[in-house]
Structures are given as C-alpha cells and as structure tokens.
Amino acid sequence: EEKRSLNFIEVAVESDLAAGKNGGRLNTRFPPEPNGYLHIGHAKAICMDFGIAQKYGGTCNLRFDDTNPVKEDVEYVDSIKEDIHWLGFDWGDRLYYASDYFPKLWDLAIRLIKEGKAYVDEQSAEEIARQKGTPTQPGTDSPYRNRSIEENLDLFARMNQGEFEEGSMVLRAKIDMASPNMHFRDPIMYRIIKHPHHRTGTTWKVYPMYDFAHGQSDYFEGVTHSICTLEFEVHRPLYDWFLDQFAGPDYRPRQMEFNRLNLTYTVMSKRKLLQLVQEKLVSGWDDPRMPTICGLRRRGYTSTSIKNFIDKIGYTKYDGLISVSLLEHSIREELNKTANRVSVVIDPVKLIIKNYPEGKTENMIADNNPEDTEAGTHEIPFTRELYIEREDFMENPPKKFFRMTPGQEVRLKSAYIVKCTGCKKDVNGKIEEIYCEYDPLTKSGMPESGRKVKGTLHWVSAEYSQSAEVRLYDRLFNVENPSEEKEKDFRELLNPESLIIRKNARIEPYLAKTAEIGDRYQFQRTGYFTVDPDSTENHLVFNRTVALKDSWEK
C-alpha cells in the first residue's frame, strides 16, 4: 500500500487526540438523510467518517438524519445500510436516528423559549426571507419577536397539537438580526409538518430544522468530530451557538468541513437523481449509469476501486470537479489484475476458413490472465466457421487498418494466422460472410507461429458459442458539468447513447459455463464486463463496466 501524507482533517484529529480533548476520544458520525440512495459523493464522506475512526481507534455512528418526514422512507434506510456494508464499513451497535431525539430537542426548545431566546413567528416564509436583509445590510425585526414567554409556550405547544396549518408559524431562535453572519438572523428552529413520519408516525406536528437538530444530536451521542462538507462552514458558528446555550465546558463536538465530490458527466443531487428515477429516464436507483453506490455496483465497480479512487482524490478545502476518468482508471487498474480474459463477439459476422476441414474441432489454449501467473488457462474451441466483430472487417479500408481485409494476414488470438480472401454481401451491401484461408504452421508452438502480423483479432466458434445480451453503458450526460448549464434543463443534456443493447452477442463456451451474477471479466479487446442480475440460466446479460481504453479524454 502506498503511503500518502496526512490530510488536514487527520492532522487536526491527531492534534486533538494528542491534546487529550474530550478525554482523548474520537467519535465520528455519518449522517445521511434517508431521502434517497447513497451516491459516490456519500462514499467520500463514509470513507472519511468511518475511515478516520478506524485509523485512530475511534468509533463511528450511523445516524439517520430523519427530520423531514415528507421525503423520507424506510426503503432508503435499508438501502443506505446495505451500501455502507458493501463499501466495507460497519457501525456495530452505533445505529441512531435523529428522530429519537425529538423529545430532547423539544425540551431544549422549551428551555430556550423560557430563557427568552426563541419565539413563535406567524409571518409567511416570504415575509421572513424579505426581513433577513443582505450581508451588508441588517435585517428587520419580526413584529412577533417580542411576544411574551407565556404566549410563545402556548403557541409552540398548540403548533405541535396540529392546531395550525403548515407554513403558518415557525419557532425562531432570537439571536441577532444585524449579525454579519446571515445564519444568526433569527434562524428557524421548528416548522409545522403534518405528514406522518416513517418512525414516529403522527406523534409530532413540528419538526426541527437541520441547524437546530444536527449539533444537538452530535452532542447527545458523544460525537467528538462532526465532519461534513464545505457548504456547512458558514453554519458552524450557529452550530457552536446552540451548543453554547446548554452544553457544559467539559465536552464539545467539533464541526470540520471538507470539499464535496463533484464528478464530470453526472449529477450528484439527490433531487435530480430522484427525478431521473421517477421519470423513468433511467431504469431505477441501481441503473448502471447512475452515480449511486448500487448503480456502480451493478455496473461492475468493486468497493476497493471506489475506495482507491477516493483516496487518490483526497480531502481539501476547495470545491472542484473531478474527472470521471479517474474513477474509471481505478476500476480498470484493479480488473486488469483480477479479471479473467474471455472471448466475446459483440456484433458478430461470420468468418469461414475455406481450407479448414469441415466438422473438425481443435481446443485452443487461452490464458485466463496474462497479468496473473496463477490464473491458469482455459480451452476455446476452434472450428471452420467462426464469428468475428463486424467492425474488424473492411472491404476497402483506409491506410493502417491492420484488421481483416482482402489480401491481408491477421492473427486469430490463441490460434492461427489467416489471410482474408473475400466476402459475400446482401442486396444492400451488408456483409454477410467473410472468407479466409489459414496457415496450419502458425498455431502456437508451430514453426511459423512467430511470424509477425500487425493485427490480432478475437473470435468465437460459430458452432460452440452461445448467444448473450450485452449492455454497453456510457456516460449518462453529454456535457462535463450538467449542473452548471444555465440555458437548459439537466434532462435535456442526457447522452442518448448512454445505453446500447446488443442482443445477439456470441460468447465462448467457457464463459457461458462459468458466469455467475456479479462476476467480472475482461472481454478481449473490448472492455471489462460484469454479469447483470437480470441474467437467467439460458440468457446471460453482461454490463460494460468500462471500455479498455478511455475514448473521451483527448
């Protein structure tokens, strides 16, 4: 394993531990909102939260940040757990829900009201926003800012009894409408939501806002380092302010921020991902084109390749856009070492070896993986009639076309050198059959086997190969940063060729016999593929994880 230097969060954690802060404890948390499936951005946060705890002998809580019942669901809770496990992390018995703290948060809100630090505002959201002011101009006080403690207590209780409509009232912290930090201008602590909650049912009609719930939840759980993404940096003073209102001096969680992961040619917002799913623009959250963990898994990514990628991009204080090529490089690098090589002809055309005996079968020996001396070999049957890729033949090729064309020799991988003699076309000029002659002395181990020819083609036996479906996945969007496009809706930027289905691919018998769902292979000369869960015994389906070479980078 390569040694890398410490990132700034590790440096800070090491120094806190060395100083004996919070009794020398390290306790992080990963706080997903169960309103969607995890994506690769979340994987970056998971690798930090769980990874740093692991590294320094600390603990990491899994806390569902379930404070908005409208968008949340147990389906998401279950998928999040599954994906964290798949990535190789475990929270043990440290599973929490922010909704478990609703009673404690309520009590804290009552306490702030009693101390004159919170009030019920009856203005509309628009009115409240208007009064916020601008960073250079102070805001305006709400006319309800100074109502009596009794009245606030009474209204807050009635808000929670369902007496008032959603949007008609909020509870606000009474801090400073002139603060240079906009988040201090009487932030909202509670709003009315009448939608039932997936865990607490209809018990609550008021729900805490992120700013009021998050730091307190960290505190209740004994979290020492609350690591989040940069957009929360401006919330940090408020995070500390709420804690200052009730926490003792002996223990404090510390919020720290790193840069979000943004990837080229995809979107990472859960709202947009949900839209793609709901509008059936993809087949589901686990569509292999999605940047979700389950999508990447189905695409053939391994958890190690994802973790290696995240380790490579690192953690900084600057937001940016990371090239998806880096992620692809990571899986290519791993599969090059681990994936067995097999022969699959994705778009087949028949090749007939005129001088090869009819009815004869030779079992050629194919290396399973030239990168791995332990990987062994398998047999691939060779017959008079084969399939090769349609694009490997051209009747009138340009210069430097080293594949099949009349008069030219090519090597058939693990077998013979053949010379193309012609082809047969249908009425539309479509190639139906290609003809060639083989040189019997050019088989591996034979006297002429070392003869130099420029091209080597993969092939399968027409007789012994089996048919399979191959799904060629590519980038979901046509532009590098779909979220940046101002002119167009992100859905107009989808790549219409992000999925090409080939139903009549031909696979060698070794693959037909060994393929199990989730297995990964290198298809010779084409790319890395995995067996899709849609496969049945008689109908194998393969997903392209990534092509052998990057065709997008110039």
Catalytic positions, please? Answer: 33, 260, 270
58: partner contacted, choices ligand ATP, Mg ion, none (Cβ within 5-8 A by kind):
none
Q: Does 482 bind ligand ATP (CB under 6 A)?
A: no
- Give the range of 31-39, 128-136, 177-185, 334-342 binding ligand ATP by CB under 6 A: 31-39
- Size of the residue set binding Mg ion (CB under 5 A): 1
| DSSP notation for 265-331 | TS---HHHHHHHHHTTSSSSTT-TTSSBHHHHHHHT--HHHHHHHHHHH---SS---B-HHHHHHHH
Sole binder of ligand ATP in the list 171, 228, 493, 507 (CB under 6 A): 228
- As given in the structure block, the two tokens for residue 402 are 């080293």
- Give the range of 41-49, 119-127, 438-446, 449-457 binding ligand ATP by CB under 6 A: 41-49
Q: How far is CA 337 from the centre of its chain?
A: 23
Q: Does 267 bind ligand ATP (CB under 6 A)?
A: no
- Give the range of 30-38, 147-155, 389-397, 408-416 binding Mg ion by CB under 5 A: 30-38
Report yes or no: 198 and 72 within 8 Å, Cβ to Cβ. Answer: yes
Sole binder of ligand ATP in the list 22, 41, 58, 81 (CB under 6 A): 41
Nearest to 262 by CA among 319, 203, 196: 319
CB 31, min distance to Mg ion, A:
7
CB 41, min distance to Mg ion, A:
11
41: partner contacted, choices ligand ATP, Mg ion, none (Cβ within 5-8 A by kind):
ligand ATP
Cα–Cα dist 208/102, whole Å: 8
Q: Spell out, one character per residue from 55 to 74, where the chain touches ligand ATP: x when CB under 6 A holds, - when not.
A: ----------x---------
| DSSP notation for 358-382 | TT--EEEEEES-TT-TTS-EEEEEE
- As given in the structure block, the two tokens for residue 25 are 């404890």
Report yes or no: 9 and 44 within 8 Å, Cβ to Cβ. Answer: no
CB 16, min distance to ligand ATP, A:
19
Report yes or no: 125 and 192 within 8 Å, Cβ to Cβ. Answer: no
> Bridge-partner residues for 469, per DSSP?
541
Q: Does 270 bind ligand ATP (CB under 6 A)?
A: yes
Identify the helix (H) or strand (E) that includes residue 62. strand 59-64
- Give the range of 32-40, 132-140, 326-334, 354-362 binding Mg ion by CB under 5 A: 32-40
Residues annotated within a binding site: 33-35, 39-45, 65, 210, 229, 260-261, 268-270
Identity of the residue, 229 or 421, whose beta carbon is nearer to ligand ATP in the bound complex? 229
Nearest to 184 by CA among 144, 249, 135: 135
Q: SS3 for 166?
A: coil
Q: Does 45 bind ligand ATP (CB under 6 A)?
A: yes
Point out which residues bind Mg ion (CB under 5 A).
33
Residues within the interface to ligand ATP (CB under 6 A) = 31-33, 41-42, 44-45, 65, 228-229, 260-261, 268-270
